[in-house]
Structure 1
Amino acid sequence: MPKLGLIAGNGRFPFLLLEAARAHSLTVVVAAIKEETDPEIDARAAADPEIHVHWLSLGELSKLIETFQREGVTRATMAGQVKHKQIFSSIRPDWRLAKLLLNLRTRNTDMLLGAIAKVLADEGIELISSTQYLEPLLAKPGVLTQRAPDEEEAKDIAYGRTVARAIAGYDLGQTVVIAAQACVAVEAMEGTDATIERAGTLFRTLEAGDANGEPTTLRRTLTVVKVAKPNQDMRFDVPVIGIGTIDAMQRAGATCLAVEAGRTLLFDPAAITRAADEAGITITVE
């Protein structure tokens, strides 16, 4: 039976990829990251003899390669987030990764993961896009919810796309939060949901008034815009939206979400749409 290597980060993404790969009759060799992967992955392996789980720590690049080679893996994919702050602060690199890090011109995520992909390729392991197995989950153009963006939200989307694409080009993040064509928050290492929550906290402060007690003139709604990078490598860091994103928006008071068609994965689209409709949030895909 053909084998697929799965480098599993956090969240539900690895489990969706696992299900899709098994539906394609693939044996899946999971490299589970101790600092990130949900331990539930062990239960999935116990229930299916064609799922093999190996635990390793961030930074153990040599162990990752040795594990895949021992299992006969020649193709692998990444699924699930590895927090940026983990990559750049908590990592304890082995000799192979330490050498790679020393040779990087810049230590942004794209540069690091691209270098790891090259090392894997040199060892006979091709890193492929997870979307190869999850194409039905890629967002399709249109308004997904009962409510379409209103005139002000549409203006915020247009402005937000301009800002988001600019910051994504520098690999700073892929999400911005906009209000009244003003940028309230920009994603950095904290991730999309934390960015939304930070915007909500900031906006509640503005709503309470400025230092002189004067209320803000900004309208009390937030629009979240998430884009792919200009030269998005779909093998890693694919834009993802899940129920957690809608929950974060509701807590923050955000009313509109805009994502890119064909380059954003929607985990459980029906549940996302249902939750958005219940919260009065509009989702548009362009």
Structure 2
Amino acid sequence: MSKLGLIAGNGHFPFLLLDAARAHGLEVVVAAIKEETDPEIDERAAADSGVRVYWLSLGELSKLIETFHTENVSRAVMAGQVKHKQIFSSIRPDWRLAKLLLSLSTKNTDMLLGAVAKVLGDEGIELISSTAYLEPLLAKAGVLTERSPSEQERKDIAYGREVGLAVAGYDIGQTVVVASQTCVAVEAMEGTDAAIERAGAIMKTMAADGDASTFDRTLTVVKVAKPKQDMRFDVPVIGLKTIEAMEHAHATCLAIEAERTLIFDRDTVLLRANTAKIAIVAIEQG
């Protein structure tokens, strides 16, 4: 039976990919990150003889390679978020990762993960797309909810995509929150949901300060893929928590990129969005 290496970050993504890989008849060797991976992964391994879990810290690149070599893994996938602040503050690199970090001209997430992918490749371990085995979860083009975006929301989407693509090109973040073609919040290291919540807090503060125009504005969330998105890592994802954050912020519209955004728990997400009268639209590239 073929083996797949799974480098597991946080959230539900690793479990979805694990299930999909097992459904394809693959044995899965999980490299669980101590700082990120849900401990439930051990329970999954205990219940399935085709899954083996090894725990390692974020900076243990040598141990990762040794583990995959020992298990004869030649293909691997990254699934699940690793918080940016973890990568650049909590990390304690081993000698191999320290050497890699010193070689980087720009220490952003894309540069780091791309360099790790190259090291893995040099060691005979191909890093494949994080959407492997999960193609059905990619958003299809069109309006996904009962309600379509309003004319004002469509204008905000157009503006938000322009800003979002520019910001994503610098590997700052992939989400912007817009009101009346004005940028309210830009995602940085805090992540999408926190950026949405921050935008809601800004609007509430403006309203409390007596800005009458605030009551005429609604928030539109625009999440884009990077102009040169590497589908092996950091693929845009939305889920129930995204919709919950939008509800809390009183955001009314969400735009994502078709075929380059994963939707987790799709039925639950759309039901919650429809109940909250939130419009979701997936837009084709170009």
The answer to whether the 8 A contact 1:185-1:198 is kept is yes
Q: Does 1:263 align with 2:260?
A: yes
User: 2:173 — aligned with what?
Assistant: 173
**CA shift for structure 1 position 268:** 1.6
Q: How does 1:1-286 map to 2 (within 5 A)?
A: 1-209=1-209, 213-217=210-214, 219-286=216-283
Give, in whole Å, the separation in 2 of the partners of 1:132 and 1:34: 24
Task: Give the letter for the 1:252 counterpart.
Answer: A
**CA shift for structure 1 position 221:** 1.3
Give, in whole Å, the separation in 2 of the partners of 1:186 and 1:257: 14
For each residue in 1:129-174, what CA deviation from the matched residue of structure 2 results, as whole angstroms up to 9, or x when unmatched? 0212100000000111000001111110010000000001111110
Give 5+ residue unaligned stretches, structure 2.
none
Indicate the SS of the match to 1:244. helix
If the length of structure 1 is used for normalisation, what is the TM-score? 0.97
Structure 1 segments, 4+ long, off by >4 Å, are none
**CA shift for structure 1 position 220:** 3.4
- Stretch deviating more after TM superposition (77-86 or 126-135): 126-135
Q: Percent identity?
A: 74
The answer to whether the 8 A contact 2:145-2:273 is kept is yes
Indicate the SS of the match to 2:133. helix
Give, in whole Å, the separation in 2 of the partners of 1:47 and 1:24: 18
**CA shift for structure 1 position 256:** 0.3
**CA shift for structure 1 position 218:** 6.3
Task: Give the letter for the 2:104 counterpart.
Answer: L
Task: Give the letter for the 1:141 counterpart.
Answer: A
The answer to whether the 8 A contact 1:207-1:220 is kept is no
Give, in whole Å, the separation in 2 of the partners of 1:156 and 1:256: 9
For each residue in 1:171-207, what CA deviation from the matched residue of structure 2 results, as whole angstroms up to 9, or x when unmatched? 1110000000000000111110010011111110011
If the length of structure 2 is used for normalisation, what is the TM-score? 0.97
Give, in whole Å, the separation in 2 of the partners of 1:214 and 1:164: 26
Q: How many residues align?
A: 283
Task: Note closer, same or farther for the CA distance 1:214–1:22 as it changes in structure 2 (3 Å cut).
Answer: closer
Give, in whole Å, the separation in 2 of the partners of 1:279 and 1:44: 34
The answer to whether the 8 A contact 1:226-1:259 is kept is yes
Task: Give the letter for the 2:94 counterpart.
Answer: D
CA RMSD across the alignment: 0.9
Give, in whole Å, the separation in 1 of the partners of 2:264 and 2:2: 26
The answer to whether the 8 A contact 1:206-1:216 is kept is no
The answer to whether the 8 A contact 2:5-2:28 is kept is yes
Task: Give the letter for the 1:39 counterpart.
Answer: P
Give, in whole Å, the separation in 2 of the partners of 1:108 and 1:218: 38
Give, in whole Å, the separation in 1 of the partners of 2:211 and 2:198: 22
Indicate the SS of the match to 1:176. strand
**CA shift for structure 1 position 57:** 0.5
Give, in whole Å, the separation in 1 of the partners of 2:149 and 2:242: 18
